[in-house]
Amino acid sequence: MSTAEDTRAHTYDGIEEFDNRLPNWWLWTFYLACIFSVGYWVFYHTLGVGNLPIEQYAVEQAEAAAMLEKRAAENPVTRESLIELSKNPAVVAAGKEIFQDMTKCALCHKPDASGNIGPNLTDDYWIYGNDPMTIYTTILEGRQPDPAKGFVGGMQSWKPFGSMFVQRATAYVLSIMDTKVPGKAPEPNAKQMAKSF
Ligand code: HEC
């Protein structure tokens, strides 16, 4: 066993090095860290029982979205509730999935919402208005032709898919409002409006 007086065999420029034993407290923290790391590795990586921080974050996001959606499903739709949904990433992601489905909104508005048969939803020109409740009503009820008022129509009602479907789609449209994706020119009867929330 080495003592505090023992030195290592080498000398550099006359400098010697003690050959002390590592302190027990230090060794213990080292051994415990080794043991802990095995448990950690098995728990999180080998068996995958525990959620890594990024996964845990996703779980908490999904829980928050589920709570928000439950409340949205139980309460009347308001301007504020729609704005709140449009700021929740998980709800917006669900709305995006609906929107980009080629059998749904993307068919007429394109997956990037830049417009095709339907208008560009990312510019600041609106036919019916850009208030959250107006957008919700447009998607819920659709818009039928009304020659007297100069409305072309052709936007179908999504009511059969249920209120939550419409609220998610609305949340997505609100989240991309004024992002100005280059695309279809504003409709002749559209008016330029500033985002109001
Ligand atoms: C069959 C084609 C079609 C589909 C599918 C469709 N839209 Fe439309 N949408 C239109 C047309 C056409 C208009 C313009 C109506 C008009 O000029 O009267 C419109 C208008 C709108 C408007 C109002 C734009 C404004 O300037 O006021 C919103 C918002 C909208 N659509 C969202 C959606 C969403 C969300 C979906 C999917 C759930 C969807 N649309 C699916 C054709 C479609």
pLDDT at 19 (0 to 100): 87
Q: Give CA separation, 19 vs 7, 13, 28, in Å.
A: 5, 18, 19
Structural domains in the chain, sorted by start: 7-46 (no CATH), 53-192 (1.10.760.10)
pLDDT at 118 (0 to 100): 97
Question: What's the half-sphere exposure (Cβ side, CA atoms, 13 Å) at 143?
Answer: 20
- CA proximity to 88, closest of 72, 105, 109, 112: 72
- CA proximity to 75, closest of 169, 158, 167, 157: 167
pLDDT at 104 (0 to 100): 98
SS3 47: coil
Spell out the per-residue pLDDT of the chain, length 197, in tens. Answer: 555 578 888 889 999 988 888 999 999 999 999 999 999 999 999 998 889 999 999 899 889 889 998 998 899 999 999 999 999 999 999 999 999 999 999 999 999 999 999 999 999 999 999 999 999 999 999 999 999 999 999 999 999 999 999 999 999 999 999 999 999 999 999 999 999 99
SS3 39: helix
Q: Is the CB of 190 under 6 A from ligand 1?
A: yes
Pocket test for ligand 1, best of 101, 103, 108 (most atoms within 8 A of CB): 108
Q: Is the CB of 104 under 6 A from ligand 1?
A: yes
pTM of the model: 0.81
Judge contact between 158 and 95, C-beta under 8 A: no
Query: How many angstroms is it from 138 CA to the middle of ligand 1?
Result: 7
pLDDT at 3 (0 to 100): 56
Q: What does DSSP assign to residue 7?
A: E
